[in-house]
Amino acid sequence: MTIKVAIAGDHGGFALKTQIQNDYKGSDVEWIDLGTNSEESVDYPDYGYKLADFVASGQADFGVAICGSGIGISMALNRHPEIRAAVCANTTMARLTRIDNNANVLCLGARTTGSLVALDCVHTFLTTDFEAGGRHERRVGKLNKAIERA
Ligand code: RB5
């Protein structure tokens, strides 16, 4: 089954964004590239907001976001009420944020995480299911409630 994954990042993430898509050539992952498309300096919030709207609207099943540290773009993404974006620096984080948090966007730091580890994080994130129906679902529900209260 093909899954649709939107991918976006700033100039710091451009090379890794290209590498990830190349690594998946001929696979059942359909990438939707929302830019940026060069190493010319841009602002990560612009790409975080664009990706957040795209994933939240259901046009993609998941998102992958990249900036220098992964942190700035995750902050932008998490301002959207329907986005749960997680910065991951290893595969355990990528696995647990799917199982525990039902994260819908994986954030990577191109300047802080090696590219092979980053690729492994993408693979783990996209192949791990949320553990629905129990305590994790209750907790994720509380994240949504906190936004309603704000
Ligand atoms: C861009 O130079 C850098 O600030 C950005 O990619 C990111 O690391 C911010 O969180």
Question: What digits encode the pLDDT tens for the residues 39-53?
Answer: 999 999 999 999 999
Which burial class, exposed, middle or buried, applies to 149 when counting CB atoms under 10 A from its CB (0-12, 13-18, 19+)? exposed
Single pTM value for the model: 0.96
Region 13-39: mean pLDDT is 97
Q: Which CATH number fits domain 3-149: 3.40.50.920, 2.60.120.1140, 3.40.50.2300, 3.40.1400.10?
A: 3.40.1400.10
What the block records as the tokens of 84 is 């749960």
Distance from residue 8's CA to the centre of ligand 1 (Å) = 13
Region 13-40: mean pLDDT is 97
**Going by CA atoms, what residue is nearest to atom 6 of ligand 1?**
68
Give the number of the atom of ligand 1 that is nearest the alpha carbon of residue 75. 10
In percent, how much of the chain has pLDDT > 90?
94
Give the pLDDT confidence score for residue 150 in this predicted structure.
61
Answer for the pair 74, 95: CB distance below 8 angstroms, yes or no. no
Answer for the pair 120, 108: CB distance below 8 angstroms, yes or no. no
- Ligand 1: residues with CB < 6 A are 10, 12, 44, 67-69, 71-72
